[in-house]
Amino acid sequence: MNKTSHLVTLMLSMIILSALSITDAQANGYWRCATEPAQNFWEEQINQKSFTGKGTLCITPHGLWSSLKVRGLTRNNAYTVWWVYIDKPESCVNFPLPEGFELADGSTIPFAEPSGYAGGCGLADFFTLDPSGEFVNPLVTYGRMDSTVAGRHGKVRFYGELRSFTPSPGSQVWMFIFGHGPAKQDDKRELARQLLTPEDPLSGAPHLGIEGRGFGYPAGVVVFDIP
């Protein structure tokens, strides 16, 4: 098989997988796939554009595979997508953060957290605190899935693979989209930060978020409840 044929085969495979519905499974019976709508978080408020999309998550014999297609992103802005895993959603605090809520680094959130997008889970579960105010073992685990700079039409398809991992029954898996503002094409170190990190100091300064520089913001989210 030549290089062109291999590329065409790979693209066709991705298209077929992304078209699976919530009840569909691969013919071999080993794949379980679900499709859920992408929900606006703050992208519409920040960039005044209608945000829509859908994500597909497949549990495979080798781990997790994902496809996320969205539209309404801002041309030439950088975006990252993050796997979010919550093993026991019943332990979430069910505390939506209001507009102006003061975070541990002294900053405040610009808009109220959407209500009910992940049942009783939300931003507060990323930063579990003990009585002294120190971060302790949080309910949420997360890591980068994919990233890009949005093109002219604001339509983007993201892909991801998390190998050797099977979510627990009753858990949640999110695809969390972060916006990072205009891509810093003239400064590759800054562009790398935009495409590789949350740019959120609370995620772990200095490497995941330069101190005092909360450039990343939650743009949209897809939530999967694992049966």
Which three-class secondary structure string do you get for the chain? CCHHHHHHHHHHHHHHHHCCCCCCECCCCCCEEEEEECEECCHHHHHCCCCEEEEEEEEECCEEEEEEEEECCCCCEEEEEEEEEECCHHHCCCCCCCCCCECCCCCECCCCCCCCCCCCCCHHHHCCECCCCCECCCCEEEEEEEEEECCCCCEEEEEEEEECCCCCCCCEEEEEEEEEEECCCCCHHHHHHHHHCCCCHHHCCCCCCCCCCCCCEEEEEEEEECC
Region of poorest pLDDT, from 50-54, 137-141, 169-173, 200-204:
200-204
Mean pLDDT score, 135-156: 92
**pTM confidence score:** 0.84
Domain boundaries of the chain, sorted by first residue: 3-225
Question: For a pLDDT cut of 70, what percent of the chain falls above it?
Answer: 84
Amino acid identity of residue 23, one-letter, is T
For the record, the structure tokens of 2 come out as 């030549």
Question: For a pLDDT cut of 90, what percent of the chain falls above it?
Answer: 68
Region of poorest pLDDT, from 36-45, 51-60, 72-81, 99-108:
99-108
The per-residue pLDDT for range 164-220, each reduced to its tens digit, is 999 999 999 999 999 999 999 999 999 999 999 999 887 888 888 887 777 899 999
d(CA 185, CA 192): 10
pLDDT category at 9 given cuts 50, 70, 90 is very low
- 222 pLDDT more than 50: yes
- 36 pLDDT more than 60: yes
Q: Could you tell me which residues come within 8 angstroms of residue 201 by beta carbon, excluding any fewer than 6 positions away?
A: 105, 209, 210, 211, 212, 213, 214
d(CA 121, CA 108): 20
The per-residue pLDDT for range 87-128, each reduced to its tens digit, is 999 999 888 999 999 877 777 899 999 999 999 999 999 987
Q: How high is the mean pLDDT of the chain?
A: 87
Mean pLDDT score, 50-66: 97
